[in-house]
Amino acid sequence: MAANAKEFYAQTVRTLSPKERLRLAAMILNDLTNSKEQIDFDDSWSEEDLQDLTNFALSHSESPHEPKKKEP
C-alpha cells in the first residue's frame, strides 16, 4: 500500500484512463464539499510560510547587477 498521496497517485491513479481520473477527481471534490470537518482559515503566517515567500520572491526577482536582456 502507498505511504502517501504522491505514491498512491503514481501507483494507482496514473494507471486509470483520463475519464476515470476525472471521475475520481469529481468524487474527491464532492466528498470534500460535503465534509463536516472545519477548515482553519487563519490570517497569520508561520515562520515556514514567511521563509517560503522570501525564497520565492528572491528567486523570481531581477538582479540590479545583471545586464538587461535585449528583446528581439
Distance CA(49)–CA(55), nearest Å, equals 10
Output the pLDDT for position 1: 57
- Of 18-22, 23-27, 32-36, least confident by mean pLDDT is 32-36
Output the pLDDT for position 40: 73
**What are φ and ψ of residue 9, in 5° steps?**
-60, -50
Which of 19, 23, 24 lies closest to 8 in space, CA to CA? Answer: 24
Distance CA(5)–CA(24), nearest Å, equals 14
Range of the domain at 15: 1-31
Q: Can you read off the three cell numbers belonging to residue 48?
A: 515556514
Output the pLDDT for position 3: 75
Number of domains in the chain: 1
pLDDT band at 71 (very low <50, low <70, confident <90, very high): low
Confirm whether 59 is domain-assigned. no
Higher pLDDT, 1 or 15: 15
Distance CA(72)–CA(62), nearest Å, equals 19
